[in-house]
Amino acid sequence: MTYFRGVIFFMEKLVPAKERLLKSQKNWMNGEVRGKIIVFICAIIMISATIAITIFLGTKGLQSFIKNGVSLIEFLTGKQWNPSDQAKPQYGALPFIFGSFTVTFLAALIAAPLGIGGAIFMTEIAPSWGRKILQPVIELLVGIPSVVYGFIGLTVLVPFIRVHFGGLGFSLLSGMIVLSIMILPTITTIATDAMSSLPKTLREGSYALGATRWQTIRKVLIPAAIPSLLTAIVLGMARAFGEALAVQMVIGNVKTMPHSILDASGTLTTIITLNMGYTTFGSPENNILWSMGLLLLIMSFAFILLIRYLSSRRKI
Amino acid sequence: MRSLKKLSLFLIIASVMVVAAACGGGTSKDTTGGSTNKGTTTKEISGQLVISGSTALQPLVAAAAEEFMNKNPKVSIQVNGGGSGTGLSQVSQGAVQIGNSDVFAEEKNISGLVDNKVAVVGMTAAVNPKVGIKDIKKADLIKVFTGQIKNWKELGGADQKITLVNRPDSSGTRAVFNKFALGGATPAEGITEDASNTVKKIINETPGAIGYLAFSYLTDNTVTALSIDGVQPTAENVESGKFPVWAYEHCYTKGQPTDLEKAFLDYLTSSDVQTTILPKQGYLPVTKMQVERDAKGNVTKK
Amino acid sequence: MNAKVADRVATGVFIVIAFIIVSVLIGLFSFILYHGFQHVSLKFLTTPSSNMSAGGGIRDQLFNSFYVLFITMLITVPLGVGGGVYMAEYARPGRITNIIRSCIEVLASLPSIVIGLFGLLMFVTLTGWGYTILGGALALTVFNLPVMVRVTEDAIHSVPRDLKEASLALGITHWHTIKTILLPSAFPTILTGGILAAGRVFGEAAALLFTAGLSTPRLDYTDWNPFSQISPLNIFRPAETLAVHIWSINTQGLIPDVDAVSNGSAAVLILSVLLFNLLARWIGSLIHKKVTATK
């Protein structure tokens, strides 16, 4: 009896242990599957968010062309903007399209060298203390709300430009300066990541060949990092493109084409923010604003396709 | 263990969302239903009101709502902005109970709403103080805004170039100003800004600037309010109909207001609000107006 | 030009660039703090805001800002980290990965105003919630998510390959390796990226204007039941955040002390970001030390 009991006891002890072993193995497998499911769900959510916004903006934005009979040619090339006119509304958005593009490129022109320069300073020139100072600075710049940028621009920059450069002060120049500061953190952060993720062997190889630091940076590091650097600039430009509240306060929001950098201008986003609240859903003047939103979306698609093309050519 | 923790976190978030969604939907229905029942039988009013629309009217309605909630502790009123167009759209969709607007719903081609005029706002042209003029003829004002007069010198002011500060095309303020101060003329192109405080700041800081502001923003000396054809922009002149540039502030409801809505709208037009909160914010009491205006702009004596 | 001189000149240029960036920040900060600090006091932080009279504070707005940020992060961080892991570890190069990557970049580059309007129709009108904290948080998630994904992906890529290979060589499954090796070593980088994202959420106004609304109901801070109407924790109430408050009083505010309140709010806002930043850094290094057992 005792022998049997002993066997049973032994079996009891044995089986759970085996089960536990199996279980833990199963758990591992489950973890693998579960993990995969979780990350797949995340990916699906992102895709569906993009698709939802695209469909949503697409249907809203096309209303004005389909339902209200606005001519697409007029929208893209017309210079007269007067959608509130009851008798003869005009929907020429060219000045705003031009304004958006101009102010974005000008801002990138300032922010890109500054941002990439800052990134190189952090990774190549002074990796220890430079990074300790610049990194928090960049992060804090992100934390300043665009409204505050706008108001500092309005109180400091606009009068400064009016007094020292002439014009009204409300100008492409003001918009460009405010925007370049706003997109600086985006460009710097991504550029820094790009530079610091380059393999150490690249630098060491170059130095071993007797190249100076500048030669290494110019001939080895920047060409190696160029796709990511371009991504940094494009994402910065995308942010500049979409910025509304700060630009609105300094750019003047006129409906005419700017002729110089000191002229006031308007952008797609500022016109959307200024008019969206006053128009009623479904009215032609509201729909045309959604068309402008769709245009913004198409432009960011175009930007990304462009960068895809560039980076695929650079990568060997 | 860790993956379990993570999974449970997801579950918690998901369940919180679902439960909260259910509750959120449920409570608002319950309370509005309750308000109609209770309001009629007992005197105590309860329920929830959501108001959205005109950003200009928002501070006034919010202040009144605060007082109203203090008097009726069971009432909860949310006052949101969004703009007149948003308010009108949302109230006609039924997303909110009251839609605030600076313009007649007819002007935005929306019908089927009940108009409740709660206040009057007067507005006038305002110039940079250094321009040096205080009074302008209507004909000259039109010339200034259409770009026929380009320097203040021509009107006896300082030798400064005129800078226009406009409102966005779809703005109610712009529509009223164009209609009643500029006689329907279309203003020339100029800096466009939507927010009254920003407009005021720009006029104050830009030499030779002219724009238009509601009386509520003309309380200090940072900008000079202009008289038009010798009529001063004062509350009395608007009330008597002498000063033509003014507009109603509307609170629209979809169909006849329910008890709670009616109670709140009555409170807004009660002498309590009309004589205390309204003037403090620079609005004119709608009850004191001696003239009346319809959606087409025809003015009649009361 | 001799290579050494060129090197010196280039170094000089980079130092000047760094100097410009730092001085821009110092200029902005001292401007904001100088103008704002005269108005910041305990009373300012603890009184509710006022619609008409002077002397209003920012108590509710401050709480709302943190609460909206918290809810947003609660949604974004798991999703973003998961997405980033997918992009870094599971996505095979190919058309689908390309599409996902494009989606991420498009989401990242969407104008916040467009997201706000999308949120208005989606989370406010379509769901019937009205202006809510949850709607605001979901709208913010839309543009915060791609940032978190990118940050996570980069962070995982920057973990030395050897670590991962050693773990796989020990027979540990892929997911287990991600969980126990990659994510912990990538954690400090993810955290820093998270702070950056949080900073943007904190200062965002355009998207919240249309989703979380411009008002805050009366709140009772002793009521901790998240389903109560007057509880600050209720995610189905409208909430005006600090950045939106700055925007709204600057644009339409009728209170006599607009400048004081907006400057004070701006100072509080960037100080919060600063504090938040320092705290997160400190926690990040603490965890890094604990996980990697390095000093």
Predicted confidence (pLDDT) per residue in C123-133, tens digit: 877 777 778 88
Q: How many structural domains comprise chain A?
A: 2
C157 three-state secondary structure: helix
Residues A278 and A131 in one domain: yes
Residues B75 and B178 in one domain: no
In this complex, do C83 and A42 lie within 8 Å of one another by their Cβ atoms? Answer: yes
Nearest CA in chain C to B57: C252
Residue of A53, A143, A145 with shortest CB distance to C246 = A145
CATH of the domain at B141: 3.40.190.10
Q: Which of C242-246, C248-252, C264-268 has the lowest mean pLDDT?
A: C248-252
> What percent of chain B has pLDDT above 70?
85
Residue, of B125 and B196, whose pLDDT is higher? B125
A112 assigned to some structural domain = yes
Rounded Cα distance between B81 and A100, Å, is: 27
Q: Which chains border B (3 or more CB–CB pairs < 8 Å)?
A: A, C
Query: Nearest CA to A239 among A179, A198, A306?
Result: A179
Residues A116 and A10 in one domain: no
Chain mean pLDDT for chain C = 81
B199 assigned to some structural domain = yes
B40 assigned to some structural domain = no
In this complex, do A277 and B172 lie within 8 Å of one another by their Cβ atoms? Answer: no
Rounded Cα distance between C263 and C243, Å, is: 11
Residue, of C55 and C179, whose pLDDT is higher? C179
Residues B196 and B90 in one domain: no
Overall average pLDDT of the C67-78 stretch: 89
Residues A97 and A58 in one domain: no
Looking at the complex, does the CB of residue C130 fall below 8 Å from at least one CB of chain B? yes
In this complex, do C229 and B82 lie within 8 Å of one another by their Cβ atoms? Answer: no
Residues B128 and B215 in one domain: yes
Rounded Cα distance between B25 and C283, Å, is: 39
Which residues constitute the domain of residue B297? 47-120+245-301
Overall average pLDDT of the C32-42 stretch: 83
Residues A128 and A194 in one domain: yes
B233 assigned to some structural domain = yes
- Tell me which residue has tokens 């703009």: B83
Residues B105 and B249 in one domain: yes
In this complex, do C277 and A143 lie within 8 Å of one another by their Cβ atoms? Answer: yes
Query: Nearest CA to C40 among C203, C266, C279?
Result: C266
B286 assigned to some structural domain = yes
Residues A36 and A94 in one domain: no
**Contact in structure between B247 and B126 (CB atoms under 8 Å):** no
* Positive or negative: CA dihedral C260, C263, C266, C272: negative
In this complex, do A31 and C196 lie within 8 Å of one another by their Cβ atoms? Answer: no
Q: Which residues of C touch B55 (CB under 8 A)?
A: 214, 248, 251-252
User: How far apart are the CA of B246 and the nearest CA of chain C, in angstroms?
Assistant: 18
Q: Which residues of C touch B72 (CB under 8 A)?
A: none
In this complex, do B194 and C251 lie within 8 Å of one another by their Cβ atoms? Answer: yes
User: Which of A66, A98, A117 is the last residue in one of the domains?
Assistant: A66
Per-residue pLDDT, A177: 93
B224 three-state secondary structure: strand
Residues A300 and A169 in one domain: yes
Distances (CA, A) of C273 to C39, C69, C173: 18, 11, 39
Per-residue pLDDT, A16: 53
User: Which of B224, B240, B256 is the last residue in one of the domains?
Assistant: B240
Rounded Cα distance between B153 and B160, Å, is: 7
- In degrees to the nearest 10, what's the CA dihedral of B123, B128, B134, B135? -60
Residue of B3, B52, B282 with shortest CB distance to C254 = B282
Overall average pLDDT of the C227-256 stretch: 78
Per-residue pLDDT, A29: 56
Q: What is the DSSP string of C87-141?
A: IIIIPPSSHHHHHHHHHHHHHHHS-HHHHHHHHIIIIIIIS---S-HHHHHHHHH
A85 assigned to some structural domain = no
In this complex, do B78 and C131 lie within 8 Å of one another by their Cβ atoms? Answer: yes
User: B252 falls in which pLDDT band (50, 70, 90)?
Assistant: very high
Rounded Cα distance between C291 and C21, Å, is: 34
Kindly state the tokens that stand for B255.
Answer: 């169909």
B13 assigned to some structural domain = no
> What percent of chain B has pLDDT above 90?
6
The angle that helices C59-85 and C258-292 make with each other, rounded to 10 degrees, is: 40
Answer whether residue C295 shows pLDDT above 50: no
Kindly state the tokens that stand for B261.
Answer: 């809505």
pLDDT digits (tens, 9 = 90+) for C176-231: 888 888 888 888 778 877 876 787 788 888 888 878 877 777 777 777 777 776 77
Rounded Cα distance between C84 and C108, Å, is: 14
In this complex, do C215 and B96 lie within 8 Å of one another by their Cβ atoms? Answer: no
Residues B141 and B200 in one domain: yes
Residue, of C39 and C65, whose pLDDT is higher? C65
User: Which of B240, B265, B289 is the last residue in one of the domains?
Assistant: B240
Q: Which residues of B touch A280 (CB under 8 A)?
A: 85-86, 88-89, 108-110
Residues A57 and A121 in one domain: no
A80 assigned to some structural domain = no
A99 assigned to some structural domain = yes
Residues A13 and A130 in one domain: no
CA A166-B199-A154 angle, to 5 degrees, is 50
Residues B78 and B163 in one domain: no
User: C293 falls in which pLDDT band (50, 70, 90)?
Assistant: low
pLDDT digits (tens, 9 = 90+) for B18-49: 444 444 433 333 333 333 443 344 457 788 88
In this complex, do B170 and A266 lie within 8 Å of one another by their Cβ atoms? Answer: no
Rounded Cα distance between A294 and A315, Å, is: 32
Residues B230 and B256 in one domain: no
User: Which of B221, B240, B259 is the last residue in one of the domains?
Assistant: B240
**Contact in structure between B107 and B295 (CB atoms under 8 Å):** yes
Per-residue pLDDT, B33: 37
**Contact in structure between B211 and B125 (CB atoms under 8 Å):** yes
Overall average pLDDT of the C139-157 stretch: 85
Q: Which chains border C (3 or more CB–CB pairs < 8 Å)?
A: A, B
Residues A105 and A195 in one domain: yes
Q: Which residues of B touch A255 (CB under 8 A)?
A: 189, 192
Per-residue pLDDT, A105: 92
Residues A151 and A280 in one domain: yes
A78 assigned to some structural domain = no
Q: Which of B37-41, B191-195, B252-256, C249-253 has the lowest mean pLDDT?
A: B37-41
Residues B270 and B212 in one domain: no
- Range C115-143 burial, b when 16+ CB lie within 10 A, else e: bbbbbbebbbbebebbbbbbbbbbbbbbb
Q: How many CB atoms lie within 10 A of CB C290?
A: 10
Residues B116 and B249 in one domain: yes
Per-residue pLDDT, A176: 93
Residues B63 and B197 in one domain: no
B225 assigned to some structural domain = yes
User: How far apart are the CA of A285 and the nearest CA of chain B, in angstroms?
Assistant: 8
pLDDT digits (tens, 9 = 90+) for A231-272: 788 878 888 888 888 888 888 888 888 888 888 888 888 888
Residues A210 and A254 in one domain: yes
Residues B66 and B95 in one domain: yes
In this complex, do B192 and A255 lie within 8 Å of one another by their Cβ atoms? Answer: yes
In this complex, do C52 and B277 lie within 8 Å of one another by their Cβ atoms? Answer: yes
In this complex, do B189 and A279 lie within 8 Å of one another by their Cβ atoms? Answer: no
User: How far apart are the CA of C221 and the nearest CA of chain A, in angstroms?
Assistant: 27
Residue of A214, A280, A295, A315 to mutate for C, most C C-beta atoms under 10 A: A214
Domains of chain C, start order: 40-292 (1.10.3720.10)
Per-residue pLDDT, A103: 93
Residue of C49, C81, C215, C220 to mutate for B, most B C-beta atoms under 10 A: C215
Which residue positions in chain A have pLDDT lower than 70? 1-31, 310-311, 313-316
Residues A59 and A106 in one domain: no
Which residues between 228 and 257 in chain A have a beta carbon less than 8 angstroms from any beta carbon of chain C? 234-235, 238-239, 241-245
Q: How many CB atoms lie within 10 A of CB A240?
A: 29
Per-residue pLDDT, A293: 86
B39 assigned to some structural domain = no
Q: How many structural domains comprise chain B?
A: 2
A74 assigned to some structural domain = no
Rounded Cα distance between B153 and B145, Å, is: 15
* Positive or negative: CA dihedral A304, A305, A308, A314: negative
Q: Which residues of B touch A162 (CB under 8 A)?
A: 206
A82 assigned to some structural domain = no
Amino acid, res. B68: F
A191 assigned to some structural domain = yes
Answer whether residue B82 shows pLDDT above 80: no
Q: Which residues of B touch A35 (CB under 8 A)?
A: 3
pLDDT digits (tens, 9 = 90+) for B197-236: 888 888 988 888 999 998 888 888 889 999 998 898 888 8
Which residues constitute the domain of residue A30? 2-66
In this complex, do C247 and A147 lie within 8 Å of one another by their Cβ atoms? Answer: yes
User: Which of A66, A101, A121 is the last residue in one of the domains?
Assistant: A66
CATH of the domain at A299: 1.10.3720.10
Residues B141 and B282 in one domain: no
Residue of C248, C252, C257, C262 to mutate for B, most B C-beta atoms under 10 A: C252
Q: Which chains border A (3 or more CB–CB pairs < 8 Å)?
A: B, C
Rounded Cα distance between B76 and B98, Å, is: 14
User: How far apart are the CA of A96 and the nearest CA of chain B, in angstroms?
Assistant: 13
Query: Nearest CA to B119 among B250, B31, B218, B237?
Result: B250
User: Which of A32, A66, A100 is the last residue in one of the domains?
Assistant: A66
